[in-house]
Amino acid sequence: MLWLRALRGLGKSALLRAAALGGGTLLVGQSGQPYQTLLPLAPDSAPTTDEGWLRFLIASKDALLLDDWEAADPESRRVLLRLAQSRAGGPLVFSSRERSPLGSGSGLSELPLRPLPPEALSAGEYAQTGGLPALVAALHAQESLSDTLATLLSPLSPQVRQVLACLALQDQPAPQVTRRALELDPEALAGAQETLGLAGLWQSGTGQGNIVQGGAGQAGIVAARSTVLVWLAAQPSLEAEVLILLAPQVPPAQALPLYLRAQALTGSSTLPGFQPALAVSALALLDAEQESEAETLLAAHARTPETWLLHARALDTLGRGPEALKRLEGLPLTPDVQAVRGLILWSIGRMEEARQAAEAALTGDLPTRARGHMVLGNLALSAQDFKLAKASFLRACGLFRLLGDNLGYLRALCQQAVAMTELGDDLTDTMQEIRPLSAQNPQAQTLSNIGWLLERQNEPQQALDFYRQAAQLAQTRQQATSAALAWNNVGTVEQQLGRLDAAEQAYQTAITYARHTGETHTLAMVLGNLGELKENLPLIEEALELLRGTGQEHLIAYFEEQRLAFMARSGGN
């Protein structure tokens, strides 16, 4: 005697129909009048009492297969249970969504049905169906999987469907996170997981298709997750409700995709926890030099001073300094805002304002002070005060190391090495530290700095390799400023090596990127270099005009020298 237990869609009916072909009578649970389920066995002379039906079934000795125990009338179920307890009749097989009412020791063995194993299907079929026979059949018949799933889920309670939605929305489903999000007690969660296990939609971590029982729930996976998510997308109210409950319960770095989907459904970027999650993700993108992605994200969703400040940083790194300054308008001039303002002002050539902002940043916390020292170091480099630059970058290095910020430390160390080179210091130890750190944290600016250091050490080919790596990386990451500077550096080395066509091409590429940056001194530098290469006095003079008032005195002096030399060669014309 066998009790098949499973929810809709796992093939109970199909299994019983197939078994009936080998012998036995298939009954389908139905109600409406007493003994209606059993009537097909004796249509002409049906017994009218329990005792009569029991004697009839014992005498027949036929195998009976009952599909859908819950749909059968209570009189027929009562007779069949007595028959099972008596063990006097023929073989019995019942299909049900619930446990056997007779329990263990009754001789009625309970067998939970499982989905088809992965090896029975192709990888694609299994991913879409989870091995559920109803979904497999729908897939082969080219019917809608989400509609079929909706039919399978319709008998389940709203709470169980909510638990399924919450688990499916997590890349790594965590029952404890689900319990907190939906405010369920441990027993309610375990019961929902058990129901989903019976439906073949939840597979616990203890093995494929295992049913979770008791406790506060076990880790596992949602079967046919892609189909579940399609089903969920067709119910925006349920999806939005679960997303809003779930997102605050997961770490901010993992929460942003949930918030973005909730925002798409609700139109709100001010959901509780959205802005902190946005800040964490945007900062990670900025650290990875994915400024374009960060800017796009922040432009659409930044709603707080913290995220507006990050948006300004992204705009500045992309070479959009004037836009970055505008983004900061209206923010209180706190030290962290001043650190970002200082960097932006330096990049667009407003040196004195940049110095004042950087000095104000030094009153902030450790990360803000580190950024302030970086700005002061860059200002000192621009002014060719290399001792001050080295001291500023040394301070920044110390602060970044204290903070455990390896990327910030690497950037400061590279700038420190630039100042040390100008001072004639030995760079052996510094370069030995920079190279492995750069390999771990590939960044266009860092690669350019290493190229410059190699160039100064009379290694032009190695320098060119680093400059080209920097240019390609900056282009891939849509970093206009870094790309312009890197291609300019490629041009200067190619020019030194006598490859003038390659140098001109590099300068033209640098100009293309420099036009997008809004950074006057970058465009002027590239124009001046191109003018020098082509011996084009108007270009050199245009570069000088652009540089006046930017504070880039060393560049002004250099191109003024080139202008005078050109005029001398041409007889003063």
Radius of gyration of the chain, Cα coordinates, nearest whole angstrom: 37
| Range in 68-82, 216-230, 510-524 the model is least confident about | 510-524
Same domain for 175 and 194: yes
CATH of residue 13: 3.40.50
Which tops the pLDDT comparison, 296 or 113?
A: 296
The predicted pLDDT at position 441 comes to: 82
Residues 6+ apart with CB under 8 A from 405: 367, 370
Number of H helices, E strands in the chain: 29, 7
Q: Where does the pLDDT of residue 519 fall: very low under 50, low under 70, confident under 90, or very high at 90 and above?
A: low
Residue 151 placed within a domain: yes
Same domain for 245 and 153: yes
Q: From CA 547, how far away is CA 303, in angstroms rounded?
A: 36
Same domain for 88 and 136: no
Other C-beta atoms within 10 Å of 266: how many? 15
At 446-466, the pLDDT tens digits run 898 889 888 888 889 999 999
Residue 157 placed within a domain: yes
Q: Where does the pLDDT of residue 357 fall: very low under 50, low under 70, confident under 90, or very high at 90 and above?
A: very high
* Bridging pattern class, strands 25-28 and 2-5: unpaired
The predicted pLDDT at position 274 comes to: 94
| Range in 134-143, 253-262, 525-534 the model is least confident about | 525-534
Considering 58, 85, 112, which residue would you say is the last residue of a domain? 112
Other C-beta atoms within 10 Å of 403: how many? 14
Same domain for 220 and 135: yes
Same domain for 106 and 219: no
Residues 6+ apart with CB under 8 A from 513: 319, 480, 481, 483, 484, 487
| Range in 88-92, 141-145, 387-391 the model is least confident about | 88-92
Residue 324 placed within a domain: no
Whether pLDDT at 542 is above 70 = yes
Residue 486 placed within a domain: yes
Q: From CA 79, how far away is CA 116, in angstroms rounded?
A: 34
The per-residue DSSP string of 35-101 comes to: TTTTGGGSSSS---SHHHHHHHHHHH---EEEE-GGGS-HHHHHHHHHHHHHT-SS-EEEEESS--T
Q: Is the pTM of this model over 0.95?
A: no
Nearest C-alpha neighbor of 524 from the set 497, 500, 559, 499: 559
Which tops the pLDDT comparison, 237 or 443?
A: 237
Task: Give mean pLDDT, residues 59-71.
Answer: 85
**Residue 37 in contact with residue 78, Cβ under 8 Å?**
no
Whether pLDDT at 370 is above 60 = yes
What percent of the chain clears pLDDT 90, i.e. is strictly above it? 51
The interaxial angle of helices 537-547 and 520-534, nearest 10 deg, is 160
**Residue 519 in contact with residue 323, Cβ under 8 Å?**
no
Same domain for 93 and 150: no
Residue 93 placed within a domain: yes
The predicted pLDDT at position 366 comes to: 96
Phi-psi region of 169 (alpha: psi -120 to 50; beta: other; left: phi over 0): alpha
Same domain for 123 and 53: no
Q: Where does the pLDDT of residue 237 fall: very low under 50, low under 70, confident under 90, or very high at 90 and above?
A: very high
The predicted pLDDT at position 212 comes to: 37
Tell me the β-bridge partners of 64.
25, 92
Q: Which amino acid does the sequence have at 121? A: L
The predicted pLDDT at position 518 comes to: 62
Q: From CA 237, how far away is CA 243, in angstroms rounded?
A: 10
The predicted pLDDT at position 188 comes to: 93
Nearest C-alpha neighbor of 395 from the set 384, 381, 409: 409
Q: Which amino acid does the sequence have at 378? A: N
Q: How many domains does the chain have?
A: 3
Other C-beta atoms within 10 Å of 511: how many? 19
Is 549 in a helix, a strand, or coil? coil
The predicted pLDDT at position 549 comes to: 65
Same domain for 15 and 103: yes
Considering 112, 135, 161, which residue would you say is the last residue of a domain? 112
Q: Where does the pLDDT of residue 570 fall: very low under 50, low under 70, confident under 90, or very high at 90 and above?
A: low
| Range in 44-48, 141-145, 471-475, 499-503 the model is least confident about | 44-48
CATH of residue 518: 1.25.40.10
Half-sphere exposure (Cβ direction) of 14: Cα atoms closer than 13 Å: 10
Whether pLDDT at 551 is above 80 = no
Q: Where does the pLDDT of residue 371 fall: very low under 50, low under 70, confident under 90, or very high at 90 and above?
A: very high
The predicted pLDDT at position 501 comes to: 93
Half-sphere exposure (Cβ direction) of 436: Cα atoms closer than 13 Å: 4
Residue 503 placed within a domain: yes
Whether pLDDT at 521 is above 50 = yes
Task: Give mean pLDDT, residues 19-25.
Answer: 80
The residue range of the domain holding 103 is: 2-112
Same domain for 221 and 123: yes
Residue 20 placed within a domain: yes
The predicted pLDDT at position 553 comes to: 67
Residue 558 placed within a domain: yes
441: DSSP letter = S
The predicted pLDDT at position 536 comes to: 80
Burial class (CB within 10 angstroms; exposed 0-12, middle 13-18, buried 19+) of 406: middle
At 171-206, the pLDDT tens digits run 989 889 999 999 999 999 999 998 898 888 998 764
Q: From CA 420, how far away is CA 393, in angstroms rounded?
A: 10
Considering 45, 79, 112, which residue would you say is the last residue of a domain? 112
* Bridging pattern class, strands 64-67 and 202-204: unpaired
Same domain for 148 and 102: no
Same domain for 66 and 12: yes
What integer best gives the mean pLDDT of the chain? 87
Residues 6+ apart with CB under 8 A from 150: 231, 234
Same domain for 25 and 122: no
Whether pLDDT at 146 is above 60 = yes
Which tops the pLDDT comparison, 464 or 88?
A: 464
Task: Give mean pLDDT, residues 91-105.
Answer: 78
At 269-285, the pLDDT tens digits run 889 999 999 999 999 99
